[in-house]
């Protein structure tokens, strides 16, 4: 059993990094504004988030009570378990409250709901590893407390997954309805024929205008003077 736990430690060694990266991605995105939310949907979400916040507070207390340095295992396994426990605490104190606040601002946002599910999924994996390690190397009380926390987070994760599925179905129905309304509007709109431009090619061509020749004046004679009168016969 101890050998399997050591292999599991190696498997989850990158999960704290995943929790940190997930927290950075979550904090960089903001939810889009939404329209009115139904009372049933808002009530369901508020109940889910209240249970999740209660589970988070209990988990933080239990993690603070851990005495990993007293576990009957090697120093490397102790460091790994302690690092996982600290990563969980940072997530519960920073990333998770930000996601919950974001979801409260946009209760029916699929993006925010998926962020919560993804974060809970990562938390569950790391938390389960720490609980199993406590059961193998720690005290019975430590294992029982962490096992209860893992169960609470697993319940919350399933509830968020069910809500995400419901929201996705509702969005799909809404998109289908809007697409049908758009198609009906386009079908009932009379199409206008393209405008025709008529060109009259029967009109006679205009004759070129001839310019009058300009008379050049002889040297010594004014240009505007009249020619001399002929002598009488």
**pLDDT tens digits along 16-55:** 444 544 444 444 455 444 556 788 888 999 999 999 999 9
**pLDDT tens digits along 152-201:** 999 999 999 999 999 998 888 878 888 888 888 888 877 666 666 666 56
Helices 15-28 and 96-105 meet at what angle, rounded to 10?
Answer: 30
Whether the pTM exceeds 0.85: the reply is no
For residue 132, how far is the Cα from the chain centroid? 35
Identify the CATH number of the domain defined by range 2-30+38-161: 1.20.120
């Amino acid at each position: 059993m101890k050998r399997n736990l050591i292999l599991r430690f190696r498997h989850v060694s990158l999960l704290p990094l995943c929790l940190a990266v997930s927290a950075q991605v979550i904090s960089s995105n903001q939810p889009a504004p939404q329209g009115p939310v139904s009372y049933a949907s808002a009530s369901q979400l508020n109940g889910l988030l209240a249970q999740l916040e209660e589970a988070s507070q209990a988990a933080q207390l239990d993690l603070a009570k851990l005495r990993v340095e007293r576990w009957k295992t090697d120093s490397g396994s102790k460091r790994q378990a302690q690092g996982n426990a600290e990563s969980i605490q940072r997530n519960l104190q920073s990333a998770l409250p930000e996601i919950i606040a974001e979801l409260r601002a946009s209760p029916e946002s699929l993006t925010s709901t998926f962020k919560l599910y993804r974060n809970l999924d990562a938390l569950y994996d790391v938390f389960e590893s720490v609980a199993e390690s406590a059961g193998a190397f720690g005290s019975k009380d430590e294992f029982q407390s962490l096992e209860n926390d893992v169960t609470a987070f697993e319940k919350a994760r399933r509830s968020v997954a069910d809500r995400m599925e419901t929201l996705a179905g509702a969005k799909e129905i809404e998109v289908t309805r809007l697409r049908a309304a758009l198609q009906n509007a386009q079908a009932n709109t009379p199409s206008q024929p393209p405008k025709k431009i008529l060109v009259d090619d029967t009109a006679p061509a205009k004759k070129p205008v001839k310019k009058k020749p300009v008379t050049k004046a002889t040297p010594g004679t004014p240009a505007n003077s009249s020619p001399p009168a002929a002598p009488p016969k």
